[in-house]
Chain A
Amino acid sequence: MWSGDFSGGYSVIVFLWLSSFFVFYFIVLTAVYVIFFTLGVANLRKYRHYVKVVDLEALLKTSLTKPVSLLVPAFNEEMHILDSVRALLTLHYPSYEVIVLNDGSTDRTLEILKEAFHLVPRSRVYQRKISTKRVLGIYESRDYPNLVVVDKENGGKSDALNVGINVSQYPFFCTMDADTLLERDALLKMIRPFIEHPESMVAVGGVVRVANNCVVDYGRVMQVDLPRGWVALAQVVEYLMSFLASRVAFAELSTVLLISGAFGMYRKSTVIEIGGYRTDTIGEDMELIVRMNRELRKKRQKYRIFFTPVPVCWTEVPTDLASLGRQRRRWQKGLVDSIRFNSEMLFNPRYGRIGMLGMPYYLIFEMIGPIVELFGYATVIVFAIIGVLSWQWMLLFLLLSMVLGFLFSVLTILVEEFSFHRYRRARDLGILLWGGFVYNFGFRQINAVWRLQATLEYVGGLRKLWGTVRRYGFRTAASK
């Protein structure tokens, strides 16, 4: 293992301690992933069966299906907004409203909406339950009575969502990004848990899939395809692993701490009760759920937060490293915020499984994990250079960690194949396998660097970073 040279005695001891720590961390992390996959696989069969038997038409007709407000924050979304809103107006759901929140866009987002939907200004009266930045105008469509556009001062996504909560008239709201594409029956599938648990269910999350290179027409994914660029492809595997394994596992353990801001449904009264979204964080989606858990547990209120892999939305992911880096640094900062603002829950038995399992997982394996991983790589390389460790051992260890990661990626592909089976073409398997390879041999390591960078920036006081993500638009049937 080491070169047998004791001349650097102190460095050998340090190395042994560090290597023991890394091996232990590695084993625990592997065990955690095994648990995720076991729980995920065991329960995916249930969801796959559910898809076969659920009668969505009956859900359409029952009055137990409550009306929903769709909140769509939009900042400089002129490229996608029209298709997105058109698609939202044709969802398969009995009663809902679409509230587009123009958060001080500097492009033609509002003008495009005004022209396309014949918006007229209205003096819509609403209750200001959560304080927000100034609302400049509220518009309703002459053609679509359930479409409302709110023009407001720029205040960020959280502020926009809070305005949406104030303006909405229905007891439930669903958050989404302006470039998210909902499947037509997604809302019906999302409302199901609220129908089954009308008193206790407060939030439900769905699956987000990668829309890059899918054929999209009028805001609908008409043909599922895989992206060709390695950056987006690695994210396909990453999203599958996250949504089909870990989040399903968290749901089964009743420790859901994250619902994607791109697709989540909430009980409005509960969100208002806890004060709405925080505007001083860029991880508002996770922070809201963590705080919801904290506040409701403090009040000893019976509640449920759930994740279901059945309803699906599609989103465009970054395809260039610069945009991806910005996004991942933002996510990491949001994660640190969520843990910092709710740190009293950590290892606190008062918060049950959330405090003893969920929060520690996010702290140890998501927040600190990338740092440990990079530190581990650096350690073995340094010790190999100074001769404490043999190169052979170093390379083998690095290779083992990547191959194990690759095994989990293949397991993810297997889960997808046996459950929702969205990637149906023969060549898709090969592409996904390649995606698994690039995810473990390069993508994950770069991601870890960004996350370390974000953590250092955070500690150094640079908390906020939204930045822009370069968008290329969806592939249409005409461009096929």
Chain B
Amino acid sequence: MFAQFLIWAIFVVGYGAALLFLVILLQRVRTFNEEQQFAQRREQLLPVFTRYINGDASVAELHGAVGRSLRLAEEIILHFLRDIRGTGRVLLIEAASDLGLLKQTLRDLHSWDWTRRDLAAMRLGVYGIPGTVRDLMELLRDPRIEVRYTAARSLGIIGSPEAVDALVTILGYPDILDTPRVLEIVQIMGAQATEPLRRMLATSTNGSTSDVQLLAIDLVGDLRDYSMVPTLHQMLRSTDTEKVLRALKALGRINAPLHVGELMSLARDRVWQVRAQAARAIGQLGLEEGVLLLKDGLSDQAFWVRRNSAEALLSFGRKGHELLHDAMRSSDMFARDMATYQLERINGNFLGAAEYKQTANGRGMTAGPTVLAGSTAG
């Protein structure tokens, strides 16, 4: 009896495997046919769409050519919309509306299938129609984070005042969308990001800083938003070290002028991250007054201060290179190693190289950098 049970079990399992394989085969055939048909129809439709965008074909002709290939038509429209601006864009959106694609997309926003809602939200972003902002805002309450994220992204792409407002509002609700995702979206908004960033930073410039504000400061630097320079300057006086650091970094990226005294003071800060960032900023801004501070920075106990100081000195031409060469002769191993490495990177092709070699020879020193094998200072 048990043997019969085993035989029965083997049969069932084997039958199951065969059935699964049949499903795979059918899926393969279906996919293959679909891809073939898609490729053929695409070849037929692309020229029609191109003529339509150029004004050489009417909507009716387009309608006729598309027929029942609505999915393909939408794919082609979205593909063009990603790059096209101006009249062509308007024509394409009209065609999408005429073919019922926009209506279908808005219907898909309420689908039970989250992937359809997600794709619909993505399509609305590509269409970029300000009138769909409210529909996207509703999706910010969707139970799936993927859908909320896509909806927020599409709002960022549309970038209308209403869309921007909605994005800034959800910053206060991390359960809707976490901060990194919101900031990612703000970043893709480009020039329109100024207002949301200003609001993010508006809470306080001296008090404790939220993660949102810190990331927003980074973004200000990435976007090189010059209008935020006064706000960033104010932040340099904050008691929050992290805020000072980020503000300094952002100012360096923007290449904004810095008060020399303030920067010198930061270069002597007790926190090594601030000293390191100040060293970098001195190099980025080319502040001559800071050169001697950079020389001191070569002997700093913190590895990154030494490294940033050495890199910054490279940007000061002959003066900086001479200081690095002097550091190579220093008794301070840290300074020596760092200077050697940085000079090696420029292969001795520094300003006044020939002249320096002459001077170095006159002083009885070896010209050119010394190669140290695998030094591990720090």
Where the two chains meet, the residues of A that have a C-beta atom closer than 8 Å to any C-beta of B are: 1, 45-46, 49-50, 52-53, 55, 58, 61-64, 120-128, 134-138, 140, 195-198, 390, 392-393, 396-397, 399-400, 403-404, 406-407, 410-411, 413-414, 417-418, 421, 426, 429, 433
Contact = CB atoms under 8 A, between A and B. Distances in A.
Interface stretch (B91-99, B100-108, B183-191): B183-191
Prevailing SS type, chain A contact patch: helix
Interface string B257-297: 00000000000000000000000000000000000000000
Prevailing SS type, chain B contact patch: helix
A399 B188 contact: no
A53 B114 CA distance: 13
Interface of B: 2-3, 6-7, 9-10, 13-14, 16-17, 20-21, 23-25, 27-28, 31-32, 115, 118-119, 122, 146, 150, 153, 178, 180-181, 183-184, 187-188, 218-219, 222, 303, 306-307, 337-338, 340-341, 344-345, 347, 369-378
Given A63-B218, A396-B3, A137 B341 contact: no
B21 A433 contact: yes
Contact of B341 (A125, A128, A196, A429): A125
6 contacts: A64-B180, A123-B371, A137-B373, A397-B6, A414-B24, A433-B21
A125 B376 contact: yes
Contact of B10 (A55, A121, A124, A396): A396
What are the 8 closest A-B residue pairs judged by CB atoms, nearest first? Answer: A135-B374, A396-B6, A63-B222, A123-B372, A1-B2, A127-B378, A407-B17, A49-B115
Nearest to B369: A123
Contacts of A198: 180
Nearest to A199: B211
B374 A138 contact: yes
Given A64-B187, A126-B376, A403 B25 contact: no
B374 A136 contact: yes
A265 to B, nearest CB: 17
Given A127-B378, A396-B6, A426-B28, A122 B17 contact: no
A373 B350 CA distance: 69
Contact of A195 (B9, B184, B306): B184
A421 B30 CA distance: 13
Contacts of A134: 374
Given A125-B337, A417-B28, A411 B20 contact: yes
A128 B377 CA distance: 8
Contacts of B20: 407, 410-411, 414
B145 to A, nearest CB: 9
Contact of B373 (A121, A125, A390, A411): A121
Contacts of A53: 118-119, 122, 146, 150
Contacts of B32: 426
A393 B10 contact: no
Given A53-B150, A399-B10, A421-B31, A123 B3 contact: no
Nearest to B116: A49
Given A136-B374, A414-B24, A123 B150 contact: no
A456 B303 CA distance: 48
B2 A393 contact: yes
Contacts of A396: 3, 6-7, 10
A429 to B, nearest CB: 6
Given A123-B371, A393-B3, A410-B21, 10 more contacts: A49-B115, A53-B150, A123-B337, A125-B303, A136-B373, A393-B6, A396-B6, A407-B16, A410-B24, A421-B31
A64 B222 CA distance: 10
A136 B374 CA distance: 6
A61 B377 CA distance: 35
B378 A126 contact: yes
B35 to A, nearest CB: 9
A417 B24 contact: yes
